[in-house]
Amino acid sequence: MNKNQQKLIKLSNGVEMPQIGFGVWKIPFNQTAKTVANAIKNNYRLIDTAKQYGNEEQVGQGIKESGIDRKQIFLTTKIFNGDQGNFDQLRNAFNGQLKKLGTDHVDLLLLHWPVFNKYIESWRALEAIYNDGQARAIGVCNFDVEHLKDLMDHAKIMPMINQIEFNPHIHQPETVAFCQDHHIQLEAWSPLGNGQSLSNPVISKIAKKHEKSPAQVILRWELQQGFIVIPKSVHEERMQENRNVYDFELDADEMEAIAMLDEEKHSIWYDKYKWSGNPNGRDDYIAKPGEF
């Protein structure tokens, strides 16, 4: 495959989405527009943001600055936890997000977290947004099997995506199997383990053999399992590196060696900000947009 070509994944509603995208969480605010424009210049066509990241306006600016037609960009954003649970409030808040992004629709709209007692009503609002053409596809993030079953029992439209934490150190096998059985496309967030998976010696050894970088090996391992990936980097050479992963293949032994690294350990911050609001072991802290 030509290095500039994008492999597309067809979602359950027929919409096509690039398999490799660009995440924008934690990019310094004053660099976000320039970095997004640069990612687009380097052939990224999927951009992943969220109200939580506090940078939708800068992302919208970056898309404009890139000079590439908005229709060529697959834009994802997410519903903020504090906007969940009330149909009208969620829709109003989402209209505000569209304004900040400088567009009349997004390509994918996700519920950022399964906020306890609120995600069913939130999903009803996402269905209305989808039916009104303000989102070409809808889905969820961080839903486990229990959340998905509950949502699907109440939904008229099934989620097209589940964006979950997935990298060599966390595999969430039950959630992955459930999504694969129910035509819910998996998307890996923190696909490089937020940078923490890059120094693993098993991965370094495989990278050396293929004359690739550890990041390329990790992304390749995720792509070969059918995931969409959204690595973030503020560095142009890393952006290019992360896109250039279609010219080699990991064999079964290499896939297995990386699979063995699983620790089922979430990122450091994950447990600190258990955002779902479920009283059974999760607090109801709701971070402010852009808080981190």
Ligand X SMILES: NC(=O)c1ccc[n+]([C@@H]2O[C@H](COP(=O)([O-])OP(=O)(O)OC[C@H]3O[C@@H](n4cnc5c(N)ncnc54)[C@H](OP(=O)(O)O)[C@@H]3O)[C@@H](O)[C@H]2O)c1
Site for ligand X contains 190 (CB under 6 A): yes
Contact letters for ligand X, residues 110-149 (x by CB under 6 A): --x----------------------------xx-------
Cα gap 283→89, rounded to integer Å? 23
DSSP 3-state of 188: strand
Catalytic residue among 53, 119, 246, 270: 53
With CB under 6 A as the contact rule, the residue among 238, 266, 274, 282 that binds ligand X is 238
Q: Is 273 considered catalytic here? A: no
Would strands 138-141 and 108-111 be described as parallel, antiparallel, or unpaired?
Answer: parallel
Would strands 16-18 and 8-10 be described as parallel, antiparallel, or unpaired?
Answer: antiparallel
Judged by CB under 6 A, the stretch of 24-32, 37-45, 64-72, 202-210 that binds ligand X is 24-32
Number of residues written out for the chain: 292
Bridge partners (DSSP) of residue 33 are none
Q: By C-beta, is 131 or 248 nearer to ligand X?
A: 248
The closest residue (CB) to ligand X is 23
| Residue 114 burial (10 A CB sphere; 0-12, 13-18, 19+) | buried
Kindly state the smallest distance separating residue 96's Cβ from ligand X, in Å: 20
Site for ligand X contains 193 (CB under 6 A): yes
C-alpha triplet 49, 109, 34: angle, nearest 5°: 25
Kindly state the smallest distance separating residue 26's Cβ from ligand X, in Å: 6
Site for ligand X contains 215 (CB under 6 A): yes
Site for ligand X contains 163 (CB under 6 A): yes
Site for ligand X contains 233 (CB under 6 A): yes
Contact letters for ligand X, residues 51-90 (x by CB under 6 A): ----------------------------------------
Is the Cβ–Cβ distance between 162 and 184 less than 8 Å? Answer: yes
Amino acid at 179: C
User: Of the candidates 58, 9, 49, which has an alpha carbon nearest to the alpha carbon of residue 31?
Assistant: 58
Q: By C-beta, is 98 or 170 nearer to ligand X?
A: 170
Cα gap 265→271, rounded to integer Å? 10
Judged by CB under 6 A, the stretch of 152-160, 168-176, 192-200, 247-255 that binds ligand X is 192-200
With CB under 6 A as the contact rule, the residue among 36, 38, 46, 48 that binds ligand X is 48
User: Of the candidates 114, 109, 196, which has an alpha carbon nearest to the alpha carbon of residue 161?
Assistant: 109
Judged by CB under 6 A, the stretch of 81-89, 184-192, 201-209, 243-251 that binds ligand X is 184-192
Is the Cβ–Cβ distance between 171 and 199 less than 8 Å? Answer: no
- CB contact set of 186 (below 8 Å; sequence gap of 6+): 161, 162, 163, 164, 166, 176, 179, 180, 226, 227, 228
Site for ligand X contains 207 (CB under 6 A): no
Residues with catalytic annotation?
Answer: 53
Residues that bind ligand X (CB under 6 A): 23-26, 48, 112, 141-142, 163, 189-195, 198, 213, 215, 230-235, 238, 241-242
